[in-house]
Structures are given as C-alpha cells and as structure tokens.
Amino acid sequence: MCTIRLENVTKMFGELAVIPGIDLQINDGEFVVFVGPSGCGKSTLLRLIAGLEDISGGAILLNGEDVSSLPPAKRGLSMVFQSYALYPHMTVHGNIAFPLKMAGMDKAEIDKKVMAAAKVLNLTEYLKRKPRNLSGGQRQRVAIGRAIVREPSAFLFDEPLSNLDAALRVNMRLEITELHQQLGTTMVYVTHDQVEAMTMADKIVVLNRGNVEQVGSPMDLYRDPANLFVAGFIGSPRMNFVDGGNAARLGATTIGIRPEHIGLDREKGLWRGVIGVSEHLGSDTFLHVHVEDVGTITARTGGEWTLRHGETVFLTPDPDKVHRFDESGRSMARAITPDLGALPRHVNGAPASGAPLQ
C-alpha cells in the first residue's frame, strides 16, 4: 500500500519558483493524473515525489513517513518515462529482469517474476526478442514490466504515451488502466492530454504555472470547473466563452457553454449564426458558428447533420448547463438557473429580445 502526501512542497530554480507551494493527498490505490499545459510543473512535481529532484521546502510523506531527504532507491517507487530507455543488446526478458539482477536476486526467482509480469502485459511470446523487433507499444510495455517486477509501493508515469501514434496511444491507455485494476497499486500519471486524464483517472490534479487549480474526479471537473482555466482545459472540444453584454445580462463577467450543451435548429433559437468550418467525425459533427455580437461558437451535433459552410443555423444553450464566472475568473454559484430570456433572441430570423425559451 502507499499513500502520498505533499505538505507545502516548493521547488525553486534560482529565484524562480516553479512550484510555489502545493498541498496534496493521494490515497492508497488511487490512479491520480497530473494534467496541464507544457511548463505547468507537472513533470517537476512527479520528479520531486520520485526523489529525482530535491524539494526546496515542505515535506513529502509516503505512508506517513517523511522521505524528503531519501534518495530515489530508498523510496520504494518505480518510474516509467516518456523514453523507453531499453537496453538494445538485451532481450525483452533481459530488460525486464535487469533491476532484479542488479539487486542480486536468485535466478529462479527472477524468472518467476519476469514470467508473471510478461503474462500481465501480454509479452510472453516476445521474451526472446530484442527491442528493435518490437513496436512502440510493445517497447513501452517492456518498460512498464521492468517497473512491475520491482513490486513498488507506487508507480509514477511521466507522459509514457507521448512517443506513440494515435491508435497505439488509445490501446496503451486502455492497457495501463486495466493494469491498475489488476494490481490495485497507487499510480501517479503525468500528461498534457486532457482526454487521457478524463478516461484514466480516479482523481485529476489540474496544474497551471506550478499551482493546483482544482482537484477532483473527472466528472467533478467537467460538471463544476472551479475557474476559467479548468473550464477551458477540461473537455473536448473546449468550452465556449462569451463575455460582454451577453454575460452581464446573466450577472456574470463571462459565461461558458460546452459544445454538447447547445441545441441546434434550422428555424429558431436564441442566437442566429452562420456556419464556418464543419468538422465531420462520423458519429459527431462539430460546427464552428459565427454569431454576431457573441463570437465564434462551437456546437456539437450528430454526424448526420448536413448543414454546410455559409448556411444559417440557430443555437440555444441548455439553461441548466450554463457556467458563470466572475471578474477574477472564478466560478459563480449556479443555485439559480440563469434566465436565458434576458439574452437577445432570434426567432425565425427576426430579433426578439427577451422572448421566452420555447
């Protein structure tokens, strides 16, 4: 078992505070994902937990023990990097077995652990191959196998899928999630891909410039983002933001509506717009609609919609799904459903300000 607790952890590079001060609790058996844009501090934070970087202040506790001053080898953690870092002259068996050989383990016990890891990772038939004879996904599984045989108290993954193509990323995403279900070991995973975060995590930690913007389950962050940054980062395509008079009429500085929460109609609706780009993905179509006095709105609809560039369409946000943000970008309480009747409305092409929803 492994619980990880960060208490006011800071990291300085000279005068620059890349991690100004973070408090975080990771519970035993959780799959926690650090997500954020490049340069937000997520990989640095993972390296601090691993002991590959020294903290500048605060404390890191594993199972209640302060390990801040312990070297990586003494922390009982295994890390999987973006680079596979396999030994090209060794077989798959040799690569997986390497850390156990370095620890002086008996050969029979090494073989037993390697075979067990290979079975979990579907690598049994590849044990005699060299890395050059493996696909990218298979190489990454070997790197994970090397971590598994050490039987760590927790796994740390630093963007392990970044070097894979789109199809392999999806497959490996599923395999790592399934691995977590099988092992039940605490896992901390770093990615810049919010889709990976949403599909894999028990708990997401959204980072921005070294600060934790929000911590919660994927659906918590999707339904109730704490601020504009989280609202814009979580969800694909990203949330639409509208400010100016349209937001002010609803008592907010900015309002946000996700593409999937906008109704589309050919004849009537709250906003009238002209279709720009249409992205047809088969099961879904994303329409980028230019709305006067509002901006470009992305709306999601079924894949069978046939509206094209230059055609007129009417959009109506779901009033129960409109997010409101104040002047500081923080989310406002949504105890009262926004009255969209306060917004200018177009019905059958004619403006009718204040008309009720139909």
Say which CATH number the domain at 250 has.
2.40.50.140
∠ CA 215-220-224 to the nearest 5 degrees? 100
> How far apart are the C-alpha atoms of 255 and 29, rounded to whole Å?
37
pLDDT for 92 equals 96
Rg over alpha carbons for the chain, rounded to the nearest Å, is: 25
Q: Are residues 145 and 197 in the same domain?
A: yes
- pLDDT level of residue 347 (50, 70, 90 thresholds): low
The more confidently predicted of residues 223 and 304 is 223
82 and 198 share one domain? yes
Would you state the torsion angle of the CA atoms of residues 202, 208, 211, 212, taken in this order, to the nearest 10 degrees? -20
Residue 348 scores a pLDDT above 90: no
Last residue of a domain, one of 175, 206, 228: 228
Whether 229 has a pLDDT exceeding 50, the answer reads yes
Domain count, the chain: 2
pLDDT tens digit sequence for 137-148: 899 999 999 999
- Mark residue 315 as left, alpha or beta (left: phi above 0; alpha: psi -120 to 50; beta: remaining): beta
Q: Within a domain: residue 356?
A: no
For residue 268, the Cα-to-chain-centroid distance in whole angstroms is 37
* 71 plus 220 within the same structural domain: yes
Average pLDDT for residues 149-155, to the nearest whole number? 94
Q: Among residues 228, 256, 288, which one ends one of the domains?
A: 228
Last residue within a domain, chosen from 176, 202, 228: 228
Do residues 221 and 197 share a domain?
yes
Classify residue 74: in a domain, yes or no. yes
pLDDT of residue 306 exceeding 90: no
| Residue 235 located in a structural domain | no
In a domain, 357, yes or no: no
Q: Is the pLDDT of residue 237 over 60?
A: yes
- The position carrying tokens 């177009």 is 346
Over residues 43-63, the mean pLDDT reads 97
Q: Considering only CA atoms, which of 234, 233, 208 is closest in space to residue 219?
A: 234
Band of pLDDT at residue 221, cut at 50, 70 and 90: very high
- Do 212 and 282 have their domain in common? no
Tell me if the bond preceding 338 is cis, omega within 30° of 0. no
User: Are 42 and 176 members of one domain?
Assistant: yes
- With respect to residue 234, please indicate whether it lies within any of the assigned structural domains: no
Residue 169 maps to a domain: yes
pLDDT in tens, 67-126: 999 999 999 999 998 888 899 999 999 999 999 999 899 999 999 999 999 999 989 999
- Which pTM was predicted? 0.90
pLDDT > 70: percent of the chain: 94
The answer to whether position 251 is within a domain reads yes
Question: Does residue 180 share a domain with residue 309?
Answer: no
- Domain identity same for 163 and 253: no
Domain that holds residue 56: 4-228
Q: Is 358 inside any structural domain?
A: no
Tell me, yes or no, whether 54 and 152 share the same domain.
Answer: yes
Query: Is residue 164 very low, low, confident or very high in pLDDT (cuts 50, 70, 90)?
Result: confident
Residues 131 and 209 in one domain: yes
- Counting every residue written for the chain, the total comes to 358
Give me the CATH number covering residue 144: 3.40.50.300
How far is Cα 274 from Cα 277, in angstroms, rounded to an integer? 10
Question: What's the whole-number average pLDDT of the chain?
Answer: 91
> What is the spatial order of strands in the sheet that 295-302 belongs to?
262-265, 312-317, 271-280, 284-291, 295-302
For residues 7 and 213, give the distance between their C-alpha atoms in angstroms, rounded to a whole number.
Answer: 16
| β-pair type (203-208, 31-35) | parallel
Are residues 254 and 209 both part of a single domain? no
Q: Which long-range contacts (CB under 8 A, 24 or more apart) does 274-280 make?
A: 274/310, 274/311, 274/312, 274/313, 275/307, 275/308, 275/309, 275/310, 275/311, 275/312, 275/313, 276/309, 277/309, 278/307, 278/308, 278/309
The pLDDT value recorded for residue 334 is 52
Burial class (CB in 10 A: 0-12, 13-18, 19+), 170: middle
Same domain flag for 304 and 196: no
Q: Residues 267-292, buried b or exposed e (16+ Cβ, 10 A)?
A: ebbbbbbebeebeeeeeebbbbbebe
